[in-house]
């Protein structure tokens, strides 16, 4: 019998963290993300229309999955004899700290393309709609880690997402700035055929392919 030290295969090099990163949004008329890196393993430029939401809280982007199942129970069985997944919904919560055109639009549900600062004072007025329309966005979140061989990029792309919840906003002089917390829910993009896609790349990632089992 092999010793446990021989049988196990624990590799601390494969434990990933998102040391930093960003969440980008774009209108659904912008091109979808088809690749994250090029042949040189470096990040590709994003398609036109993608804008960085900017700094966010230390928690970073928070992804959640809500999976619902339908179960069949049978006479004499002590556990379900069939289980089907009937729902698998991804949500993304971001506690955005920057106040800019993108974050104001996400939080208020206003189409910011029509909002123009006053030509004299620079003042901007945004009116919350009585019944905000369901606006859809392309959303890309990139997390960056480091390895001896270089940067590792782990990204999640939602081709069609909308704001389905908003957090509280506080006007205070404490350690917390005025934020724009929103939760986005991913939906199926019927043209692309998916609601979410994961991307992994970078020079550090490429150097670990064999260790990860690829």
State yes or no: pLDDT of 54 exceeds 90. Answer: yes
Q: Which CATH architecture has domain 17-37+48-66+83-212?
A: Roll (2.30)
Q: 156: closest CA among 124, 195, 197?
A: 197
Secondary-structure breakdown of the chain: helix, strand, coil percentages, each rounded to the nearest 5: 15, 40, 50
- The pLDDT value recorded for residue 163 is 96
94 bridge partner residues: 182
CA pair distance 48, 31, nearest whole angstrom: 7
Q: Report pLDDT digits (tens) over 83-140.
A: 999 999 999 999 999 999 999 999 999 999 889 999 999 999 999 888 878 899 999 9
3-state secondary structure of 105: helix
- The pLDDT value recorded for residue 206 is 97
For residue 23, the tally of other CB atoms under 10 A from its CB is 23
**CB-side neighbour CA atoms (13 Å) of 35:** 10
This prediction's pTM: 0.93
User: What integer best gives the mean pLDDT of the chain?
Assistant: 94
> So where are the chain's domains?
17-37+48-66+83-212
């Amino acid at each position: 019998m092999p010793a446990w030290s021989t049988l196990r295969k624990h590799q601390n090099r494969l434990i990933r963290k998102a040391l930093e990163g960003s969440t980008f949004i774009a209108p659904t008329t912008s091109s979808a993300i088809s690749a994250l890196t090029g042949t040189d393993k470096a990040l590709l430029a994003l398609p036109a229309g993608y804008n960085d939401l900017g700094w966010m809280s230390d928690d970073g982007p928070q992804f959640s999955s809500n999976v619902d199942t339908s179960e069949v129970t049978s006479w004499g069985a002590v556990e379900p004899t069939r289980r089907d997944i009937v729902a698998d919904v991804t949500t993304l919560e971001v506690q955005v700290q920057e106040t800019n055109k993108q974050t104001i639009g996400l939080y208020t549900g206003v189409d910011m393309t029509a909002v123009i600062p006053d030509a004299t004072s620079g003042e901007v007025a945004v009116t919350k709609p009585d019944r905000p329309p369901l606006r859809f966005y392309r959303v890309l979140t990139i997390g960056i880690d480091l390895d001896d061989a270089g940067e590792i990029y782990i990204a999640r792309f939602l081709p069609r997402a909308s704001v389905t919840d908003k957090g509280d906003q506080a006007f205070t002089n404490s350690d917390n700035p005025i934020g724009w917390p929103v939760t986005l829910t991913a939906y199926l993009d019927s043209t692309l055929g998916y609601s979410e896609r994961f991307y992994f790349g970078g020079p550090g990632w490429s150097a670990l392919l064999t260790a990860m089992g690829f």
